Amino acid sequence: MELLSTNVVFAGEHRRYRHHSPTLGCDMEFAVYLPPGAVGKEPREVPAMYWLSGLTCTDQNFMQKAGALKRAGQLGLAIVCPDTSPRGVGLPGEDEDYDLGTGAGFYINATREPWARHYRMYDYVVSELPELLEKDLPLTDQRSVCGHSMGGHGALICALKNPGRYQAVSAFAPIANPSECPWGQKAFKAYLGDDPGAWEEWDATLLIPTARERLPLLVDQGTADEFLDSQLNPDALAEACETFHHHLHLRMHRGYDHSYYFISSFIDDHLNHHAQALGLR
């Protein structure tokens, strides 16, 4: 890993790295926050929350805007922020639309060309990146996952598809039923093909009936979110959870939108939720 920058913050350390990803076939950048105690001459190992960002974001949005680092430092919780897609791999059309290609990897494994060689963000965030960081940084193998919008979708499917791998999961305004919304349908058709049957394993709402682990789901959603009715559909997730007895704490917040103002307002609740499951509280 090549260290790109480092900043002392709330007695911990924010770092940005670059590395070559064999999974994605390109160089990737990511950020890590290490809390006090995990830095210095004798760092101790700490658990990590993986944050998956939304469309158009990089690793930097959450670290700079969410206001999460103070509470994470107090809890002794590391935060890992991957990028949202491969970048600069030279695929035709990868930079034409904000909701497909660059910045829009959707945390799935593409099976359709030309995307299949590089767009394997699911394998990257679930397997490659944690293996790398748990080997080279003071991180335990205790981890959780959280995200926003496209990243909320990513967090939910990562947890639902991998029983035992995460101790907690939560999401802000997730794309809860991507098979039934324009963002998800566009991405799934491009990355997976035209058969909706191939989309089902990447849709949190459709994974609920067969989930082999029943981690409680914490989901926050703003009522003034401009994408609530057209793209996010938390009601579909709530109906599936109710039908199949999967615990969901869906909190609707009056007047809040889709922005990081919303995330920063409730991020401490999510950090506390994760810390408790990881044995930090």
Which residues carry out catalysis? 149, 225, 258
DSSP state of 97: B
Question: What is the distance between the terminal CA atoms of the chain, rounded to a whole angstrom?
Answer: 31
CB 184 within 8 A of CB 217: no
The tokens describing 73, both together, are 């430092």
Give the contacts of 23 (CB within 8 A, at least 6 positions apart). Answer: 120, 123, 124, 127, 128
DSSP state of 278: T
The CB density around residue 145, as the number of other CB atoms within 10 Å, is 31
Q: Which helix (H) or strand (E) is 221 found in, with range?
A: strand 217-222
Q: Where are the alpha helices (DSSP H) in the chain?
A: 60-65, 69-75, 121-123, 129-136, 150-160, 182-192, 204-207, 234-243, 260-277
Q: Hey, what amino acid is at 182? A: P
Give the contacts of 265 (CB within 8 A, at least 6 positions apart). Answer: 253, 256
Burial class (CB in 10 A: 0-12, 13-18, 19+), 6: middle
* Largest CA-CA distance found in the chain, in angstroms, rounded: 54
Q: Is the peptide bond before 114 cis (omega within 30 degrees of 0)?
A: yes
